[in-house]
Amino acid sequence: MTGTDRPTDGALVVKRVEAGSADTTEIERLADAAGYDVLATLTQTRTEDPAYHVGEGKAAEIADQLRARDAAVVIFDNQLGPYQTYNLGTEFPEGVRLLDRFRLILEIFGQRAQTRKAQLQVELAELRYELPRAEAKASLARREEHPGFMGLGEYDESREQDIKNRIARIRDELEKIERTDEHRREQRRESGFDLVALAGYTNAGKSTLLRRLAEDLDVDENEDIHPDLDETAASEDRLFTTLGTTTRRADFDRRDVLVTDTVGFISDLPHWLVESFKSTLGSVYQADLVLLVVDVGESVESIREKLVTAHDTLYERNEAPILTVLNKIDTVEAAELDRKREALSALAPNPVAVSAKTGENVDALRERIDESLPELERERLVLPMTDDAMSVVSWIHDHANVETVDYGEQVVVEFEGRPAVIEQSRAKASDLVPAESAS
C-alpha cells in the first residue's frame, strides 16, 4: 500500500513481554499512524512459545476477541516467525490480516513513500524482511522435498535468488541517488551554508522545532513534503508524518544555515531495517552538527534508553558533534526538568532545554548552534574600484558574513565565512588584481 491509501479496519493489538507489564503506547500510535482503529489491546507476560509466540490459550482468546469485535486485523508488537504466523493464522477467523511490528512499520513507510528514493528504501526493507522467510521455505523444501512450507504456500525455487538480485539492483540505484545528494550537500557548503540535521525519535517535536528555526520555506530536498510546509498548518501529532527529508534555511545573524529534518527513530528497530534507510540518514551522517531531540516529558528510563540507541546509530558513521535538545519543557515543572537534566548528564552533557511549541529558549538554542558549528575564518580583501570588483563584493555578501566594506580609491571588504567560501573569495580577488595586492 502506497501513497495516500489508508486502511480503516478495526484492529486488535497484542504484545508479549518476558517480564513485567507490557506497554502498548507506541504500538497503538503506530497502528494509528497506519490508519487502523485500535479496538482493544491484549497483553501477556511469559516466555516465547515457539509455535504461537503467545501461549496457545492466549491465541484462542485473541481469536475470540477478533470474532466478538468483528476486527479485521491483529497487530503483534513483536517479531513473528513464518511458522508462528502460519499457526496463528489457523486459529484466527478467515480473512483476518496478521501483522507483526515490522510488517506494520513497513506498511506505514509504504504509505508515506512519495519519491523514488523513499519507494526504493521501502522496497529494500520489504525484501530484506522477506528474504529469511524465503530462505526458510527453500531450506525446508530442499531438506524434505516438500512442495510447500507448513501450508505457507508453494515454494518457488527461484524466489530466493530473485529477491537477492532485486536487493542488489536497489542498492546500486540508491548509491547513485546518495552520490547525487552528497554532491548537493557539497554545493551548499561551497555556497557558504552550514548543515544542521535534526535527529531523534518520532514525536519528539523535530518538525515543530524546524518551524521555529526556519527563516523561509524555499529550500527542500525534493523529498516528501511535510504537512507543516504551509505556514498556517499545525504540526501533526502523528508518527512518521514524512518518510523523506525536509530542509529549510534557518534564521541566523552571521551564518547561512540549512536545517534538515528526517524520519524519526523508533524503538527496537532491527539492524536490517535501519540499514535499508541509511540513504535517508545520510543527511544526518553528513551534517556539520546534529541536534538530537528528545521529549523531556517522558520518563528518565525511556529517555536514557532512546539516547543510548540514538548515539549507537549516529556514532556508527557520524563525525559531527551532537547537541542534545530537551524539548517540550512546557509539559514539565522546573524541578522535574532539573532532576532529569542531572540524571541524563552522562549521556547529554550541557543540553539545551526548549519548547518548540511555545518558542521558549529557542534563541538560546540558536546561540548554541552558532557556537557548535565549525569556526568561521576571517578575511580582508583589497579590490580595485571596478564593476567586476563590485560583483565580487556582492558575491561575498551572499556567501559570507560581511563586517565592513570601505569604498575609497580601492574597495576594502572584511568578512568571515566557511573555509571554502574564503578560498573562493581569494580566487575571485586574484582574478582582479595581482596576488601581492590582496592581503
233 labelled ligand-binding: no
Q: Work out the burial of residue 422: count CB atoms within 10 Å of its CB; fewer than 13 is exposed, 13-18 middle, 19 or more buried.
A: buried
Tell me which long-range contacts 214-220 makes (C-beta under 8 A, separation of at least 24): 214/248, 214/249, 214/250, 214/251, 214/259, 215/248, 215/249, 215/250, 215/251, 215/252, 216/248, 216/249, 217/248, 218/248, 218/249, 219/247, 219/248, 219/249, 219/258, 220/246, 220/247, 220/248
Whether the Cβ atoms of residue 290 and residue 197 lie closer than 8 Å to each other: yes
Whether the Cβ atoms of residue 192 and residue 425 lie closer than 8 Å to each other: no
197 labelled ligand-binding: no
Helix, strand, coil shares of the chain as percentages rounded to 5? 45, 20, 35
14 labelled ligand-binding: no
438 labelled ligand-binding: no
Whether the Cβ atoms of residue 323 and residue 368 lie closer than 8 Å to each other: yes
Query: For 409, which DSSP code?
Result: S
**Count of beta carbons in the 10 Å neighbourhood of residue 128:** 19
264 labelled ligand-binding: yes
- 3-state secondary structure at position 378: strand
289: Cα within 13 Å, side-chain hemisphere: 22
Q: Work out the burial of residue 131: count CB atoms within 10 Å of its CB; fewer than 13 is exposed, 13-18 middle, 19 or more buried.
A: middle
Rounded Cα distance between 34 and 7, Å, is: 7
330 labelled ligand-binding: yes
Amino acid at 231: E
180 labelled ligand-binding: no
117 labelled ligand-binding: no
13 labelled ligand-binding: no
137 labelled ligand-binding: no
**Nearest in space to 250 (alpha carbons), one of 191, 180, 197, 186:** 197
Beta strands in 21-159, from DSSP E residues, in sequence order: 37-45, 73-76, 97-100
Whether the Cβ atoms of residue 311 and residue 347 lie closer than 8 Å to each other: yes
363 labelled ligand-binding: no
324 labelled ligand-binding: no
Beta strands in 306-356, from DSSP E residues, in sequence order: 322-327, 352-353
308 labelled ligand-binding: no
201 labelled ligand-binding: yes
362 labelled ligand-binding: no
Rounded Cα distance between 369 and 195, Å, is: 11
284 labelled ligand-binding: no
350 labelled ligand-binding: no
**Count of beta carbons in the 10 Å neighbourhood of residue 347:** 17
Rounded Cα distance between 167 and 149, Å, is: 23
207 labelled ligand-binding: yes
Backbone angles phi, psi at 360, to 5 degrees: -65, 130
Binding residues: 200-207, 242, 261-264, 327-330, 355-357
Q: Annotated binding site for GTP: which residue ranges?
A: 200-207, 261-264, 327-330, 355-357
Specify binding-site residues for Mg(2+): 207, 242
